[in-house]
Structure 1
Amino acid sequence: MLFDMDGTLVDSERLWDVALRELAVEYGGSLSDAARVAMVGGDATTSMRILHADLGQQWRDLATSQAWVARRMGELFRTGLVWRPGALALLLAVRAADLPTALVTSTARPLVEIALETLGRDNFDVVVAGDEVRAPKPDPEPYLLAARLLGVPIERCVAIEDSRAGVASALASGAAVLGVPSEVPLDPVEGLHLLETLAGVDLALLGDLLARAEAARP
């Protein structure tokens, strides 16, 4: 099992929204809704490029902006993380069944370490953070790396995602993909199984997704 974090397991996209909009104000501007949507599911560097361009301040230093957001998100993660509907129950069911499980996120390792205090470190055999891959989502590398570290063929993995970038990454990797949108709607695409929530999702449904994905392969 391959779980995305932000917007999938925990309702943290609203916290990113707070930090990003606060940084825009700090820079004397305001973040447009279109720019915010474009950031969902992306890595920190890409998000800062979008923010700077949205403000017409492309001259700003990416590392400085990333550090500001990381500091603010650390504060918000410590006090504001809540589970998405059905996420904890599904994660516990997966672990009770002793299924190899990875957390695959675009968030950098320092913030992931804070989030794991809520998520539970023992709930994951492997954690792949956004600053630990050469090519972040929507590239398939994060999911391919997670499957390799788990020792499970990617074709035998189910990935659960909420963002367009994450879905693209998971589909390109060859995993079976369950999409549960949070902040941004997901378009129906081949290979993507869409649900409104993880509430009620069980191991039988995940097994069915794998079987369908296998049947669809040439």
Structure 2
Amino acid sequence: MRAVIFDFFGTLTDPAAEALRPGTFAETAAALGVPAEAFRAAMVASFPERIVGALGGTRETLRAMAHRCGAEPDHERLDRAVATHHAGAERVRTPRGGALAVLDHLRARDFRLGLLSDCASELSEAWPETVYADRIDVPVFSWREGRRKPDPRLYAVAAERLGVPAEECWFVGDGGGREHDGARRAGMRPVLVTNAGYPGASGTRVDPDTYLPEHRIDELDELIRLLGTACDNG
């Protein structure tokens, strides 16, 4: 096995940080000048559109959300809302404890590292400035690709760009978006990060996976032992 492809939210990020998302939405709503609950409802309802790029970038998305809330923000208000929204998104993508060390360890072991994330525009736009960017060889964002997990084309794209056959890739994620079943069907070896130490984290998963992988770990740093054992066993 020569490559490891990671999910992003709840896998590389702190699962507890998801609890910050409603507050960040409220901050963006205030900057847009729309009711917080109406904005939150619009964001939740538009998730399937936002993660495949159907609403454009963050600025275009927030303009669309404002329209759905009955508002027409001017350029200055929209500028403030975009800045506020990006700042909130940065807090939500705080790395989980030990995640960066795991990535550094795997790179030192010559694993190719990929990312496969169902995400809206915020992550893709900010990616080059994140602490993850220099550690991931190939990031694949649903927003840029125009499709979401478990679409087999996403897994094929990730493997192709890594230059590694799908059969030689691990896929590591917390189980949202039916991602493990997608990885299994693509020929990858899936690993579930249960996040057992984060009460309530499973409730934030969108379209949770009903397929339960053979390989399961509670914390991300257990991946090092799992991969090391698998490699030792050939």
TM-score class, shorter = 0.5 to 0.7
1: CA distance, partners of 2:190 / 2:82: 29
Matched, 1:205 2:211: no
Aligned length: 196
2: CA distance, partners of 1:159 / 1:147: 11
SS in 2 for 1:103: strand
Matched, 1:178 2:191: yes
SS in 1 for 2:112: coil
Conserved? CA contact 1:140–1:172, under 8 Å: yes
Conserved? CA contact 2:6–2:12, under 8 Å: yes
1: CA distance, partners of 2:183 / 2:135: 20
Over residues 165-193 of structure 1, what are the superposed CA-to-partner deviations in whole Å (9 max), with x where a residue is unaligned? 13333233221111114521666735342
Q: Cα distance, 1:90 vs. partner?
A: 1.2
- Length-normalised TM-score, structure 1: 0.68
Over residues 93-129 of structure 1, what are the superposed CA-to-partner deviations in whole Å (9 max), with x where a residue is unaligned? 1111121111211224552342443334221221111
2:13 to 10, 14, 26: 10
Conserved? CA contact 2:5–2:171, under 8 Å: yes
Residue 221 of structure 2 aligns with an amino acid whose one-letter code is A
Matched, 1:155 2:167: yes
Q: Cα distance, 1:43 vs. partner?
A: 6.7
For 1:189, the equivalent position in structure 2 comes to 211
Q: Cα distance, 1:197 vs. partner?
A: 1.1
Matched, 1:122 2:144: no
- Length-normalised TM-score, structure 2: 0.64
1:76 to 66, 78, 88: 88
Q: Cα distance, 1:80 vs. partner?
A: 5.5
User: Identity of aligned pairs, percent?
Assistant: 27
Q: Cα distance, 1:4 vs. partner?
A: 1.3
For 1:51, the equivalent position in structure 2 comes to none
1: CA distance, partners of 2:113 / 2:66: 29
For 1:169, the equivalent position in structure 2 comes to 182
Matched, 1:96 2:108: yes
Cα gap change, 1:105/1:70 in structure 2, threshold over 3 Å: closer, same or farther?
farther
**Larger Rg computed on CA atoms:** 2
2: CA distance, partners of 1:7 / 1:139: 20
Conserved? CA contact 2:124–2:143, under 8 Å: no
Residue 178 of structure 1 aligns with an amino acid whose one-letter code is V
Cα gap change, 1:110/1:189 in structure 2, threshold over 3 Å: closer, same or farther?
closer
Over residues 14-33 of structure 1, what are the superposed CA-to-partner deviations in whole Å (9 max), with x where a residue is unaligned? 3444345667894564668x
2: CA distance, partners of 1:159 / 1:70: 32
For 1:58, the equivalent position in structure 2 comes to none
For 2:118, the equivalent position in structure 1 comes to 106
SS in 1 for 2:118: coil
SS in 1 for 2:191: strand
Conserved? CA contact 1:45–1:62, under 8 Å: no
2: CA distance, partners of 1:164 / 1:206: 22
Cα gap change, 1:64/1:144 in structure 2, threshold over 3 Å: closer, same or farther?
same
How large is the RMSD of aligned CA atoms in angstroms? 4.1
Unaligned 5+ segments in structure 1 are 49-60
